[in-house]
Amino acid sequence: DIQMTQSPSSLSASVGDRVAITCRASQSISTYLNWYQQKPGKAPKLLIYAIFRLQSGVPSRFSGSGSGTDFTLTISSLQPEDFATYYCQQSYSTPKTFGQGTKLEIK
Amino acid sequence: QVQLVQSGAEVKKPGASVKVSCKASGYTLTGYYMHWVRQAPGQGLEWMGRINPTSGGTNYAQKFQGRVTMTSDTSISTAYMDLSRLRSDDTAVYYCARPNPSRGNGLDVWGQGTTVIVSS
């Protein structure tokens, strides 16, 4: 199984800050890396797929980068609605494992 | 619009089984796999498995092998996830989600979630 390791597990930041969340796969997953945002009591929402491609309707302040085994989700200027938990997921092979999540909190 | 609507919350005793349904609308069920993901209280997302509604073929996470069965009824555009021999640590929100090959197989449509509580 491919293990996905996210860091940090939690992050405290202010509105307007630039933040980055990293995700490392235990083996190469080509371009099959997705990012999700989840707010309390809600289903996750696909933000970015294939490393850097924004899902329709996602603001351009979100971006993804990386290759092979190391990936990053960046939010360029945090907005109040961005405080949530973020998960990476590999869709390269089954089981389609998720990272453990990064909780982004208001400082 | 494309949506997945899941069945309502369940309370089960340890050792029982639960069957969660997921009705697809706005698209053809057989056009996409269906995945199941669960989330225990305060925990992260856990991938359970997937079904190909066209063939009925399934892939399950090793952790759930022997206890989970995923099926579908294409005549009513509904997928099902059956989990047996329930334990207290199966208490979780269970989601169905559609992977989109045009989105790198990212899960672009999610059900609203079904809460399953396992308690004696």
pLDDT in tens, chain A (107 residues): 999 999 999 999 999 999 999 999 999 999 999 999 999 999 999 999 999 999 999 999 999 999 999 999 999 999 999 999 999 999 999 999 999 999 999 98
B88 lies within 8 A of chain A by CB: no
- CB-nearest to A55 from B47, B103, B105 is B103
Cα A16 from chain centroid?
18
Please give the interface size between A and B, counted as residue pairs whose CB atoms are below 8 Å apart. 78
> Do the beta carbons of residue A37 and residue A47 sit within 8 Å?
yes
- Cα pseudo-dihedral B74, B78, B79, B85, rounded to 10: -120
| φ, ψ (nearest 5 deg) of residue A2 | -85, 125
B103 lies within 8 A of chain A by CB: yes
